[in-house]
Amino acid sequence: MNIILFGAPGAGKGTQSALLVERRTMKHISTGDIFRSHIKQQTELGRSAKVYMDQGKLVPDSIVVGMVEDVLKGLGSQNFILDGFPRTVPQAEALEGMLKKNGLEIGKALFLEVPMDDLMGRLTGRRVCSGCGATYHIASKPTQRAGVCDLCGSEVIQRADDKEDVIRTRLEAYETSTAPLKAYFAAQGKFSAVGGTGQTEDVYRRLVGQM
């Protein structure tokens, strides 16, 4: 089954996607990761996206939609997870057209539910590996050696947009633009909410229970 995984910044989409990739051999399509990779490679797309990302604002739909379309076109038969897309109702509408054109279908839109009060702590404490992208948290999932990734040995850093003032803007963008997708997917009979608090493994069990 192909799924959309959505929720507020810090809800754990990346963490749960990594488990699905490993255990269900799904393909992870994260628009945030794709943008960060473009920024690293200093492409034109990366330069355009960075201006918005650094401020915690959404990248304009016109940029995101074309980028996702390219990914979906090149997709084989592997089941996929859309993480971070769609993030607005117009993106969800554009996605419907793209799926139809490419003979693809979404089975479920799974919403990772985490109380607003938890999100700031999750995001300010988050650290990511600059090499392999593994995620850590200074309190709940620290690296074994300070600043060094357990998996690949690269430097572990804080994402530029995980600073408190930028996080506030991201949470606002979520409330305004992304939260309305709950009703959108519910109207299609595809919406399920999954409790996103507690142990990672417990969240994972709840998540696959809805698939």
Buried b or exposed e, range 5-41, using 16+ CB within 10 angstroms? bbbbbbbbbbbbbbbbeeeeebbbbbbbebbbebbee
Query: How far is residue 141's CA from residue 34's CA, in Å, rounded to a whole number?
Result: 24
Given 3, 26, 29, 32, the residue binding ligand ADP (CB under 6 A): 32
Given 66, 131, 147, 195, the residue binding Zn ion (CB under 5 A): 131
Is residue 57 within 8 A of residue 169, CB to CB? The reply is yes
Question: In the annotation, is 47 catalytic?
Answer: no
From the list Zn ion, ligand ADP, none, partner contacted by residue 35 (C-beta under 5 to 8 A by kind)? ligand ADP
Query: How far is residue 129's CA from residue 154's CA, in Å, rounded to a whole number?
Result: 6
Shortest Cβ 2–ligand ADP spacing (Å): 16
Query: How far is residue 195's CA from residue 65's CA, in Å, rounded to a whole number?
Result: 29
Shortest Cβ 149–Zn ion spacing (Å): 3
In the chain, DSSP assigns E strands to: 3-7, 27-30, 80-83, 108-113, 126-129, 135-137, 156-157, 191-195
Shortest Cβ 145–ligand ADP spacing (Å): 25
From the list Zn ion, ligand ADP, none, partner contacted by residue 56 (C-beta under 5 to 8 A by kind)? ligand ADP
In Å, what is the CA distance from 176 to each residue of 7, 9, 196?
Answer: 13, 13, 20
Given 56, 106, 110, 156, the residue binding ligand ADP (CB under 6 A): 56
Shortest Cβ 81–ligand ADP spacing (Å): 12
Would you tell me how many other CB atoms lie within 10 Å of the CB of residue 182?
16
Which of the residues 84 through 103 are near Zn ion (CB under 5 A)? none
- Determine the interface stretch with Zn ion among 35-43, 66-74, 122-130, 198-206 (rule: CB under 5 A): 122-130
Could you say whether residue 64 binds ligand ADP (CB under 6 A)? yes
From the list Zn ion, ligand ADP, none, partner contacted by residue 129 (C-beta under 5 to 8 A by kind)? Zn ion
Given 15, 16, 17, 91, the residue binding ligand ADP (CB under 6 A): 91
Give the residue numbers marked as catalytic. 13, 87, 126, 159, 170
Binding site for ligand ADP (CB under 6 A): 9-10, 31-32, 35, 52-53, 56-59, 64, 84-85, 87, 91, 161, 170
